[in-house]
A and B are shown apart, each in its own frame.
Chain A
Amino acid sequence: MDTLKIINLTVSVDDKVILKDFNLEIKSGEIHVIMGPNGTGKSTLTKVILGDKNYQVLKGEIYFNDILLNDLATDERARLGIFLGMQNPMEIEGVTNADFLRTAISTREKDNFKLFDFIKELDKTVDYLNMSKDMIHRGINQGFSGGEKKKNEILQMYMLKPKCILLDEIDSGLDVDSLKIVGNSVMDYFREYKSSILVITHYQRLLDYIKPTFVHIMKDGSIIKSGGSELVKEVEQEGYGKQNKKFSSIGTCVVKEMIKDE
């Protein structure tokens, strides 16, 4: 059982607090979806879990399988089995996708790395994701469309076989066919490896394919409401404004504020 546990996490960037006393626990075999308005700290959360140096952790802890991540470098966290599918994957000129993946996998597997197996699996996954074969010899995401970049993130996920997957707006820039491929491939991976998945999204359409165990609404750096799939429909119909008034179950301080507002 793999568990990602975030306890009272407070994070700032450029002296502005983005995440405030954030708590979340994700176990293997669970899919958590976080929705929320723009600028509420959803992407920050995924980057902080991976240790992006642009963000400063003011307090709180992040554990993966009881290993404290706070002091680990990004690559060490990734090698523990955490993967971030990014909202805006970097374009890196000259470094081919094949070279990049080979370096990533051989770093982790060291002497057990087998080039032939790697090539065979890469070919198979490229076919499975309906990607062009030539993309593996192109620069990382170089000249890729928005959809190709997102598929490339999923390709990397399949090749690296992470235990905990963070997907930050993986549905943005995807046409209907690509959305279906990406959504279904994430679910196929989930069923096969029983991983834990955290999905950040704005839209219900991705959840036609990815079936969440829990849905969380995030606002101003904290989770203000948690529930099941029914929350997604509420958000679709009523927006995030309404959600703000409903956090009576979160804690006494919040209830007091709500009473004061009303």
Chain B
Amino acid sequence: MNRISLVNNKLDSSINDIKVEYIKANNFFEISKLNIDTLNSNDLYLVLDLDNEKLNINFNINHDTNLYICVKGSSAKVKYSYNIINSLSVLKYNAIDSINEMVEVNLNKENSNINYIFKSIGTVKENYDYVINHNKLYTISNITNNCVNKEGSINIQISGYVKKDIKGCICNQNNRIINLCNNKCEIRPNLYIDTDDVDANHSALIGRFSNDEIFYLNSRGINEVDASNLLIKGFLLSNISNEELENIIKEDIDNNWR
């Protein structure tokens, strides 16, 4: 698999048919830039280790791409722009303490699509702002955010835009935060639809695991703590099809809830 890592402002890559350009910020006020263009159908694993950094990442998805992203570090402000003319699947896990993240998705060709699955464990503060632009006919976006807030706060704002005459689009947003503490979490799922030919759904759920789920596990002799840990594991690992990402999430679950 292709691999790009940006650790302590140092870029390493092992890639084929992918063009990468990194422009490092010269001072605190500037923003570093990472441009990634896919030149063929590809799988790409991207590791970001960020420490008080500002970064803009620009993806030009010209061919079908499976993208796996793991973000580590202390804190960062990151803007991701996905410009898609084909099919993009994203599996992303944030293991960073504090993050301010803007995600812009531009579906720029008929039938282009994105399937985006995001997982996170909240420990300090996380803000996410998504803008999904369906710029062409029959484009599809399926965005899933699954976060477990251990002791921080998580805010998600997500807005899907389908303009007039952009017909036949599917725009789905599925957001869930399991809040294990009393800190405030917020999800604002918005759909801005200006056409009558669209399939659009948005959901937002903040809460704990259901009593019925806990009872089912308890009824097999599993205590409250183990039941909760099992549910956290299932919630964060569902749909994670990349072994490396899966192992990182498992390790973080063990570290947080051993």
Listed in ascending order, the chain A residues whose CB lies under 8 Å from chain B are 47, 50, 52-54, 73-75, 78-79, 83-84, 86, 89-90, 92-96, 99-101, 103-104, 107-108, 139-140, 156, 160
Contacts and interface: CB of A to CB of B under 8 A. Distances in A.
- By Cβ-Cβ distance, the 3 closest A-B pairs, closest first, are A94-B234, A94-B238, A95-B234
B215 A103 contact: no
Interface of B: 211-213, 215-224, 226-227, 230-231, 233-238
A83 B221 CA distance: 9
Contacts of B222: 75, 100, 103-104, 107
Contacts of B237: 94
A89 B231 contact: no
Contacts of B238: 93-94, 139
A143 B158 CA distance: 29
Contacts of A47: 215
Contact of A79 (B221, B227, B234, B236): B221
A63 to B, nearest CB: 19
A143 to B, nearest CB: 12
B220 A53 contact: no
Contacts of B212: 90
Label chain A's interface by main secondary structure.
mixed
B55 to A, nearest CB: 31
Given A107-B222, A107-B223, A92 B211 contact: no
B220 A100 contact: yes
Contacts of B215: 47, 50, 52-53, 74
B152 to A, nearest CB: 22
A83 B220 CA distance: 7
A198 to B, nearest CB: 14
10 contacts: A50-B218, A74-B218, A94-B234, A94-B238, A95-B231, A95-B233, A104-B217, A107-B222, A108-B221, A160-B220
Given A53-B211, A139-B238, A78 B218 contact: yes
Contacts of A107: 221-223, 226
B220 A139 contact: no
B221 A90 contact: no
A83 B216 CA distance: 11
Contact of A100 (B211, B217, B223, B236): B217
